[in-house]
Amino acid sequence: MAIVFQPLYLAVILALSSCLLLTGCHPAQFTTQQAQGSQLVLATPGDPKTFNYAVNTSLYGPLGYLYVGMLRENGLTAELEPVLAESWRISPDKRQVTFTLRAGLEWSDGQPLTADDVLFSYQDIYLNPAIPTVYRDFLRIGRAGKLPTVQKLDQQRVEFTLPEPFAPFLRNAGTLAILPAHALRDSVLATDGKGNSRFLSTWGTGTNPQEIIGNGPYRIESYEPGQRLILRRNPHYWRSDTQGNPQPYIERLVQQIISSTDDQLLRFRSGELDSIKVRSEAFSLLKGEEKRGKYSIYNGGPEASIRFVGFNLNQARNAQGEPFVDPIKSRWFNTLAFRQAVAYAIDRERIKNSVYQGLGELQHSPIAIQSPYYLSPEDGLKIYTHDPQKAKQLLLEAGFQYNSAQELLDGQGNRVKFTILVKSEEKARVDTAVQIQQDLSQIGIRADLQVLSFNTVLQKLLDHRDWECYVGAFEVGMIEPHNIFLFWYSGGSFHQFNQGPQPGAAPIEGWRVSDWEREIDNLFIAGVKELDENKRKAIYDQFQQIVAEQAPVFFLVNPLSFQAVRDRVQNLKFSALRGAFWNIEELSILK
C-alpha cells in the first residue's frame, strides 16, 4: 500500500514528479518566467478516487493540500506542531486532552471554523458507526477497542476523554483533518435508497470543485480525469509569515496524472517539471545533469518506508461460499516452513544491487529504521540471509518433494505455483517481483506475475481478497509503531494478509485468526497504554521478533530517499520522513 499504513499523510508525501498538457497549452509553456514565479508543476501516478477525506483509501490525490488537522508532524524532527490548534493540554491522569483553536480561523469559502467543526468531524464522522472510515481504527483504545468521547467547551476549545491512557492519541487524533460542518452535516443526516448515509457519495471526483470546502493551504481549481488536477492558493488559510505576508507563497500547484515513471523521468529532463522522485535506476543519469538542468538532488537517507513480499493467509470464504484462496495453495501459505523457505530463497542483495543500483539498505523489520522503536539485527532481530539450500531443506522437512525436473511438489503431488501481484506504476517494484520470480524458480517454485494498476491492486487486496502473493510497500514514515496498527491488528481495515470481516461489506465465512496474530494484537494494545518509553520499546521489540519468526510478510530493500527539485524552488527542507513539500506554505519560487 504502497499501502498505507498511516493514511493521515498519504496525499502529502507521494512521489510528485511530472507534467502533462494543460488545456490549450504546450507543456513547454510551463517553463516561462511567469509560470515559474506563480506555480509548481508536480505529478501523481494516478487519479484520485474521491475528494472526500473521510472515505478515501487511495494514495493518489490532493487531500493533504486541501485539509489540515489541529496538529502536524514536523517533517525533519517528527515532533508535533500546532496547526489549527494553537495549544493543547493533557490532564494529569492522561485521560483528558484539551485543544484550543486559533482565533479567526476560516474555511476556504470564508465561513468561520470553530469548535463546532471539530466536534462534527469527530462525533459525526470519525466516531460515527454509520460512516465506514479507516480513521476510526486509529482512535480505538484498549483491548475492547473503545473510542474516546469529545465535547465542546466553548467556541475555541474541545475536550477529548479517553477510556484509558493512550500514548499515540495526540499523533493520531490530533493530525486527522477537520471537516466543514456547514457543508457536510446535511449529507451525514440524509440517507439514500439503501439506507446508507449520503455522505459516503458526497464530494466524489465528479463534484464541481467550487463545492469542495477545505481548510488547507490550497483548494481545487479544476480537475480533468486522467490529465491533471490544478490547485489554487486558499486565500482564507490561517497562516502568515513574521512580516504578515499570507502563506503559502506559491499561487498554484499543478498535479499531472502520469502512471509511467519512465514518462515522468522524460518530462523532468525536458524541463517541464519542478520535481521528480529520483529512483535508483535513474540516479546516475540525473546526477550528471544537475548543473545543466538547474536542479539539485536531495538525499534523505533510507526511505522511511517498508517494502515487502507476503502471502494471502486468509482461509475464509466469500458470501457465495467460494474460498478466497485455492485451499491447496492456502495450505502451503499457512505452513510456517514454506514462508520461511521463501524468505531464505530471496536474494535481497541482488535486488539491492540490480534494481536499486546499490542505493539502498536491506530491510529486516516492519518498523522503519528511523524509529526509536526499531529493533536491529545487532540487538537480536531474526534475519533471513540468502540460502537456497536451507530453503530446500525446510521444504523437504515440511513434506514437500522434488520431481525429476527439480520442480517442487507438495505432499499430495501438486506442483507448487502461484501468482505474484504487483502494481504497475512503479518500475522498481515490478523489477523486484521479476527477481523474486527468478529466485523462487531456483528452489523449484513457479511464480507468475500479475501487474495491475494500484487502485485495482487495492480492490483485490482489501475488497475481493482474491490474491495469492503480493509485492507491496508502506510508502509513509512510521516513527510511531501504532501508525501500522491497521495492517497488523487482526481486525484492522488494512490487515491485508488475513483480511477479516469489515463493517458494511459482504459477509465472509470461516475466517480464522492465528495465535501469533492474537499475540501481536495484545502487544499493540499494551504498547499504546504504556507511557514509559523504555517499556514501550520492549513491547515493540517482541512484536518485531514475532513478525520475523512467523514471516507473514518478508521485508526486502529500503531504497535511499532522493528527490530532484529545481533550484528556483526556495526554502526546501527535504527529509525521508515527509519528502520535499511537507512545508509547502514556506516554499517560494525564485523568478
Cell 514518462 locates to 263
Q: What is the pLDDT of residues 48-68, one digit of tens each?
A: 999 999 999 887 889 999 999
Q: How many other C-beta atoms lie within 10 A of the C-beta of residue 388?
A: 16
Who contacts 266 (Cβ-Cβ below 8 Å, separation ≥6)? none
What CA–CA distance (Å, rounded) separates 357 from 141? Answer: 43
Domain boundaries, the chain: 71-185, 306-559
476: cell is 509513509
Q: How many other C-beta atoms lie within 10 A of the C-beta of residue 441?
A: 15
Q: What is the pLDDT of residues 527-561, one digit of tens each?
A: 988 888 899 999 999 999 999 999 999 999 999 99
Mean pLDDT lowest among 340-349, 377-386, 451-460, 513-522: 451-460
Amino acid at 105: L
What CA–CA distance (Å, rounded) separates 568 from 273? Answer: 12
Domains 71-185 and 306-559 share a fold: no
Residue 27 predicted with pLDDT over 70: no
Q: What is the pLDDT of residues 293-351, one digit of tens each?
A: 999 999 988 888 889 999 999 999 998 999 999 999 999 999 999 999 999 999 999 99
395: cell is 521444504
Q: Which is it for strands 85-90 and 218-224: parallel, antiparallel or unpaired?
A: unpaired
Cell 470553530 locates to 114
First vs last C-alpha separation in the chain = 38
Q: What is the pLDDT of residues 78-121, one digit of tens each?
A: 889 999 999 999 999 999 999 999 999 999 999 999 999 999 99
In a 10 Å sphere around its CB, with 0-12 CB exposed, 13-18 middle and 19+ buried, how is residue 160 labelled?
buried
pTM above 0.75, yes or no: no
Q: What is the pLDDT of residue 21?
A: 26
Q: What is the pLDDT of residues 146-201, one digit of tens each?
A: 999 999 999 999 999 999 988 889 888 888 999 999 999 999 999 888 888 999 99
Cell 487511495 locates to 58
540: cell is 515493540
Q: What is the pLDDT of residues 265-307, one digit of tens each?
A: 999 999 999 999 998 889 999 999 999 999 999 998 888 888 9
167: cell is 500514548
Partners of 92 in the β-ladder: none
What CA–CA distance (Å, rounded) separates 513 from 531? Answer: 28
For residue 584, give the nearest of 30, 153, 72 by alpha carbon: 72
Amino acid at 347: D
8 A C-beta contact, residue 343 and residue 469:
no
CA atoms within 13 A on the CB side of 82: 12
CATH of the domain spanning 71-185, picked from 3.90.76.10, 3.40.50.720, 2.70.98.60, 3.40.50.970: 3.90.76.10
314: cell is 486468509
Burial 248-273 (b: 16+ CB within 10 A, else e): bbbeebbbbbbbebebbbebbbebbb
Which band of pLDDT confidence, cut at 50, 70 and 90, is reported for residue 476? low
Portion of the chain with pLDDT greater than 70, in percent: 93
Q: How far is CA 60 from the centre of its chain?
A: 10
Who contacts 77 (Cβ-Cβ below 8 Å, separation ≥6)? none
Q: What is the pLDDT of residue 141?
A: 86
Q: How many other C-beta atoms lie within 10 A of the C-beta of residue 487?
A: 22
Q: What is the pLDDT of residues 361-376, one digit of tens each?
A: 999 999 988 888 999 9
230: cell is 490544478
Between the CA of residue 459 and those of 2, 315, 383, what are the distances in Å?
13, 18, 31
8 A C-beta contact, residue 204 and residue 70:
no
Q: What class, spelled out in words, does domain 306-559 have in CATH?
A: alpha beta
Helix (H) or strand (E) segment spanning residue 266: helix 261-269
Q: What is the pLDDT of residue 43?
A: 87
